[in-house]
Amino acid sequence: MPTPLTIPFVNIYATLPSQFYRKTMPAQVTNPTLIQFNHDLAAQLGIELNGTSHDELALLFSGNQLPDGADPLAMAYSGHQFGQLNPQLGDGRALLLGDVISNDGQRRDIQLKGAGRTPYSRNGDGRSPIGPVLREYIMCEAMHALGVPTTRALAAISSGEYVIREQREPGGVFTRVAASHIRVGTFQYFAVHRDAEGLRVLANHVLERHYPDIDSQADDRYLQLFNAICRKQAELIANWMQLGFIHGVMNTDNMTVSGETIDYGPCAFMDTYKASTVYSYIDRNGRYAYQNQPAIGQWNLARLAETLLSLIADNEKTAIAQVTEVLQDFALWQQQAWLSAMRKKLGLATEQESDPALIEALLSALTDAEVDYTLFFRRLCDLAENPEAADTKLGILTLMQAPACSGSKDTTLEHWLDEWQARCQHETSSPKEQALAMRAVNPAYIPRNHRVAEAIKAAEDNNDFKPFKRLLRILAHPYAEQPEYLSYQRPPKPNEKVLRTFCGT
Ligand code: AMP
Ligand code: MG
């Protein structure tokens, strides 16, 4: 008898008071098969496979068989969805199997998504189609490789069953790993239910778990906690912005207090730069458009602040004044983090007062000329390396898609390139060093919408997971040139463009 797979579960969340969750067992699926397993991540989590077969992994990560030590529960939370408070959300199609202490000493949650109904399922079936499973796998692992704090993918399973959405779709189960699944909406849950004690327990848990540097005896520890969460979110959103990432559904239940990106639903990376870009089909008014993300982040954090007031100070007015100050700082931190990232993208190690104007001028030129955001910066690295290369410069200009721009020589973008080259004269690094630094922050590969859609379609229509696996391999090294995969750098042709993304819940 081989040793079974072992997961070193600790399960701290299950020790919190009973109103935090509902213990729930996963439902069975008919015929689970393994699509993908993240061996590197499993090793980091201290999971020992002991020769576990693919079939056994499929049983364990579909919910058909519980790994030893798992204590499955559905977490309670509320949340503002598109600005409307929904007091009763919670894990409707997710189950926390438990948490482990990973090799880096950090606690990590292991959660099944799509493992059946829970007490929080409302009218939902607790299931997930395969499309959202593959999408989340691709997007979160790409974000991780890009260097953005994010939840991770441990496994993707095909359930062998169909789920009913607008049509019948093949079903799947996703295993998500997170620093925790505690959201702004988790705090809102206790505030909505006027559960002051629950709120305090939650805040203390978050302090200990995510912000151990804050002195747990300090009088202002809850204000410090709020401050620390705001800082993490400011950095996170700046990181999204510099990469052209659009989360798509920044409801308060989809914002962690750990600072990790969570809930990859209708998210997307934009191709052509345009600040008002929205992909999500359900975001009809553009609430979660690319350019709105910093302001929405601040709005969500204001909702978090409201839940913390009574913990922060006995006098409400005092507490409001204190959190307001932090919320103002959030905007500043976000702007600073973004500016610093944009300077790096442009290869500027020094700071000049005129840099923000240079960046704004670029964004406006990219918008007017309809230029692919990611490819532009990648090509700019080539120009940094060979400042005199006329063909490199011309190559950049051919990225312009706007009808008025093509063929015209003296464009704003061309002018901007001259300005940028003049600015680079003030840098001390050599062109080669500058290009190297730029290539380390300007990805060649992002999960482009049309490639993600192509991978999902092959899986849905033909049970063909090769395009999905290929995409994962490429996206694991986003900053490296991969000459055999140049076509994956390319933006979509007009007929390949994906203009709408779906939650698929
Ligand atoms: P999300 O769109 O993932 O942020 O989910 C919002 C809320 O809807 C959460 O409470 C989910 O658990 C719940 N939900 C989404 N899809 C389903 C489903 N298929 N079955 C049950 N609950 C769901
Ligand atoms: Mg959610």
Backbone angles phi, psi at 394, to 5 degrees: -60, -40
Are 93 and 121 in contact by the 8 Å Cβ rule? The answer is: yes
Tokens of 24: 């729930």
Residue whose tokens read 């704003």 = 412
Residue that is written with structure tokens 């001390």 in the block: 428
CA atoms of 492 and 94, how far apart (whole Å) = 34
- The three state secondary structure string of 421-453 is HHHHCCCCCCHHHHHHHHHCCCCCCCCCHHHHH
Gap from CA of 79 to ligand 2 centroid (Å): 9
CA distances from 420 to 13, 149, 363, 481 (A): 51, 30, 13, 24
Is residue 315 classed exposed, middle or buried when 0-12, 13-18 and 19+ CB atoms within 10 A define those classes?
exposed
Phi then psi for residue 375, to 5 deg, are -65, -35
Q: Which amino acid is at 418?
A: D
Closest CA to 241 of 281, 283, 295, 287: 295
- Dist CA 451 CA 466 (whole Å): 12
- Ligand 2 centre to CA of 263 (Å) is 5
Question: Please, what's the largest Cα pairwise distance for the chain?
Answer: 74
Is the pTM above the cut of 0.95? yes
- CA of 253 relative to ligand 2 center, distance in Å: 6
The burial of 291, by beta-carbon neighbours within 10 Å (0-12 exposed, 13-18 middle, 19 or more buried), is given as middle
Helix (H) or strand (E) holding 306: helix 293-312
- Which residues does 50 contact at the CB level (< 8 Å), separation at least 6? 2, 3, 4, 5, 6
Give yes or no for a contact between 188 and 303, defined as CB atoms under 8 angstroms apart: yes
Ligand 1 atom with least separation from CA of 127: 19
Splitting the chain (505 residues) into consecutive groups of 10 residues, what average pLDDT does each group show? 86 98 97 98 97 97 97 98 97 98 97 98 96 98 98 98 94 98 98 98 98 97 98 98 98 98 97 97 96 98 98 98 98 98 98 98 96 98 95 91 66 94 97 98 98 97 97 98 97 93 76
Q: Could you tell me the two tokens for 258?
A: 């750990």
> Which residue CA neighbors atom 14 of ligand 1 most closely?
92
Among residues 265, 271, 281, 270, which one has the least CA distance to residue 246?
A: 270
Ligand with the closest atom to the CA of 123: 1
Going by alpha carbons, the residue nearest to atom 15 of ligand 1 is: 505
Ligand 1 pocket test: pick from 78, 164, 165, 505 the residue with the most ligand atoms within 8 Å of its Cβ: 505
Distance separating alpha carbons of residues 443 and 97, to the nearest angstrom? 34
DSSP letter assigned to residue 139: H
Q: What's residue 409's pLDDT?
A: 54
**Positions marked catalytic:** 253
Q: What is the pLDDT of residue 403?
A: 74
CA distances from 303 to 120, 260, 306, 324, 334 (A): 22, 18, 5, 12, 18
The three-state secondary structure class of 247 is coil
Please state, in angstroms and rounded to a whole number, the distance separating the CA atoms of residues 322 and 320.
Answer: 5
First-residue to last-residue Cα distance in the chain: 40
What is the per-residue pLDDT for 406? 56
- What residues flank ligand 1, with Cβ below 6 Å? 89-93, 120-121, 124-127, 253-254, 263, 265, 503, 505
Q: pLDDT value at position 501?
A: 87
- The three-point CA angle 430-435-440 to 5° equals 130
Contact 254, 353 (CB under 8 A): no
CA dihedral 84, 176, 117, 504 (to 10 degrees): 60
- Which residue in 245, 423, 410, 273 sits closest to 350, CA to CA? 423
pLDDT confidence of residue 116: 97
pLDDT on residue 405: 67
pLDDT for 219? 97
Alpha helices for 176-217 (secondary structure H)? 184-192, 196-210
Closest CA relative to residue 422, chosen from 348, 364, 369: 348
The amino acid sitting at 293 is Q
Q: Which structure tokens are listed for 335?
A: 């702007």
- Which tokens belong to 124? 């939902």
Residue-wise pLDDT for 359-406, tens only, equals 999 999 999 999 999 999 999 999 999 999 989 999 999 999 887 665
Identify the residue whose C-alpha is closest to ligand 1 atom 22: 92
